[in-house]
Structure 1
Amino acid sequence: MENIDLEIKILDYLQGRLSETERKEVEGLQRTSQAFTAKFNEVKQVWEGLDIRQVPETGPEMRTNFKAMLNTFELEQAHSQTNQFASTWKKLTGLLVYRTRYNWAYSILLLIIGAMIMYLFLKPQRSVIEDLSQQLNDKKQTIMLTMLENPTATERMKAVNYTHELHTVNDKVINALLATLNTDDNENVRLVTLDALVKLADNPKVREGLVASIVNQDSELMQIALADAMLQLQEKKSVRSLKKILKEQPDMNDMSKRKLEQTVQKLETI
């Protein structure tokens, strides 16, 4: 389990948001793993020193609506393609009504139709599937961006989690996620967003955004989570930002300060 996922799960445990099975899993790890116990105590100390808002649980309505929208979109695409094919076929059959005086034109037309048929049959079906898949992916991105504007924190968290269902993300999605990481007023939403962005860190724009976000965070828990992300990504460019918040926040919690100092030391030795 990655550090960010682990911290989020411990945070959920402290807030009483885990299922019975997940709660027993955390308690079992506390009994059997010294490393997990140390991480648990570390997050708990930060949690007890900070004011983290609880995010209320909601029903499955949004996911149901989301799936319904996708199903409607797929039906519309299939219906549109069927109508387009029928219209094209009707036009072609109309052209094939034979007229003697146009023998030369029919010969050329038959050659063109034959070439088109060969192209359509030889064209890999995979490209059609890829086109539909990309259209569906674009639709998901649009829905996700809309959900990010929802006033309910839980729905914004769900929107961020939908990024895991996308096989590609465009700049608009990346910009929206970075804006959420920097400006969302709910700390849990920002933590989930950070987790999603770390998974997209192969994109240079995402890495630059994560480094820049360090100095924008006023929450010690977010600063620690970003420090862990920088260590996971081995991002040495973050050292300057981490040193800056250490210098500009002399009243920082001792445990948080020690954590950031250790992260700086590790990054400097990479």
Structure 2
Amino acid sequence: MTMDKKHVIDLLPDYLDQVLDTVQKQKVEAHLKQCPTCAAELEQLRTLLDAFANEETAIPSNRVEANFLELLEQEKRELAKVVPLNSKQPSIKSGWGNFLKIAASIAMLVGSFLLGQYQQERESHVEIAALQNEGLELRQTAMLSLMESKSASRRIQGVNYIDEFGDLDESIVKALTDRMLHDENTNVRMASAEALEKFTASEIVKNAFIKALKVEKDPGIQITIIQTLVRIQEKKAVMPLKELMQQDETQPFVKEQIESLLPSII
């Protein structure tokens, strides 16, 4: 990767992984000191990567309901202790009247609180939706940058980040297919193939799987690709599958897999 004259966003994943050489590291650090945009991108990327390992699921609390019931019980106990000054026996009608008034007041208070919480949550959801829309380009940049990292584990993280997207951008499709076809690391190629399985409706993805039959040498990835093409009944894969089965270097169990599955799409 080359150092951009204005920004160093593409180098940030490698900078965080500490795999840049001394000269590149010094240039990035010097640039970050004078470029608020890249500094902000660095912090957001660091937060994103930390979230992969520390993602937590928020669990709603039942405290409001529990506190409401506790207050009712407390008021009920307090009323049982009250002895009216003008009577030896407590007035049941009066006691329950006061109790119901207090209960109604508490209910109104809790209702107001819950209404306020609901309104705040609605506003928060609107703000989050706006931020998600604004952050789409940032997430794409982060994903593409991760997939270009020198670290294989970072490239796999970038590939797996595809779950954050609904529809695939053309640049992301190209990056994923490039990883599947050309990455030097077997695990990255496998992760890319598995990620692309979800998007086989795309002709670009189908063609990439067919091309992979001709260049991929790892038996595990070959079987993943074969099973995917058979599952989607891709008839353009018939000839490449036959060619793969006839090659001497193709493992026997891969040939058996092709032989058993091929009739289902012919």
State TM-score, norm by structure 1: 0.50
Moved over 2 A (4+): 66-70, 126-135
Give the direction of change, closer, same or farther, for the CA distance of 1:130–1:146 in structure 2 (3 Å limit). Answer: same
Q: For residues 252 and 208 of structure 1, what CA distance do their matches in structure 2 show?
A: 21
CA separation of 1:157 and 1:255: change in aligned 2, threshold 3 A: same
- Counterpart amino acid of 1:186? N
- Tell me which of the two structures has the higher relative contact order, counting C-alpha pairs closer than 8 angstroms and 6 or more residues apart: 1
CA positional deviation for 1:177: 0.4
Q: Deviation at 1:141?
A: 0.9
Residue in 2 that maps onto 1:257: 255
The question of whether the paired residues in 1 share the 8 Å contact of 2:214 and 2:244 is answered with yes
The one-letter amino acid of 2:257's match is K
Q: Choose 1 or 2 for highest CA Rg.
A: 2
Structure 2: distance between partners of 1:68 and 1:153: 15
**What code does the residue aligned with 2:184 have?**
D
1:141–1:169: 8 Å Cα contact kept in structure 2? no
Q: Distance in 2 between matches of 1:155 and 1:238?
A: 32
Q: What does 1:12-161 align with in structure 2 at a 5 Å threshold?
A: 65-67=46-48, 132-161=131-160
Residues 209 and 225, structure 2, Cα contact 8 Å, conserved in 1: yes
Q: Provide closer, same or farther for how the CA distance between residues 234 and 66 of structure 1 changes in structure 2, counting only shifts above 3 A.
A: farther
- The 3 A distance-change label for structure 1 pair 168 and 243 is same
Deviates more, 1:154-163 or 1:237-246: 237-246
Indicate the residue corresponding to 2:166 in structure 1. 167
CA shift, 1:198, in A, is 1.0
Cα deviation code 1:24-44 (max 9, x no counterpart): xxxxxxxxxxxxxxxxxxxxx
Aligned to 1:192: 191
Q: SS at 1:156's partner residue?
A: helix
CA contact 1:191–1:222 (8 Å) conserved in 2: yes
**Alpha carbons of 1:261 and 1:66: their partners in 2 closer, same or farther (altered >3 Å)?**
farther
2:206 maps to what in 1?
Answer: 207
Q: For the structure 1 residues 195 and 241, does the alpha-carbon distance in structure 2 shift closer, same or farther, using more than 3 Å as the test?
A: same
- Aligned-pair distance for 1:128? 8.9
Give secondary structure in 2 for the equivalent of 1:199: helix
TM-fit CA distance, 1:263: 2.1
In 1, the alpha carbon distance for the partners of 2:159 and 2:177 equals 11
Kindly provide the amino acid, as one letter, of the partner of residue 224 in structure 2.
Answer: A
Amino acid of the residue matched to residue 266 of structure 1? S
User: Is the alpha carbon distance of 1:240 and 1:135 closer, same or farther for their aligned partners in structure 2, counting shifts above 3 Å?
Assistant: farther
Could you tell me the percent identity over the aligned residues? 24
Asked if the contact 1:137–1:168 (Cα under 8 Å) also holds between the matched residues in 2, the reply is no
What residue ranges of structure 1 are gaps of 5+ in the alignment? 1-61, 71-125
1:171 Cα deviation from its structure 2 partner? 0.6
Does structure 2 conserve the Cα–Cα contact (< 8 Å) formed by 1:144 and 1:160?
yes
1-side partners of 2:137 and 2:162: how far apart? 12
Task: Report the RMSD for the aligned CA atoms in angstroms.
Answer: 2.9
Q: Distance in 1 between matches of 2:195 and 2:202?
A: 12
Structure 2 regions of 5+ residues with no counterpart? 1-42, 52-124
Q: TM-score normalized by structure 2?
A: 0.51
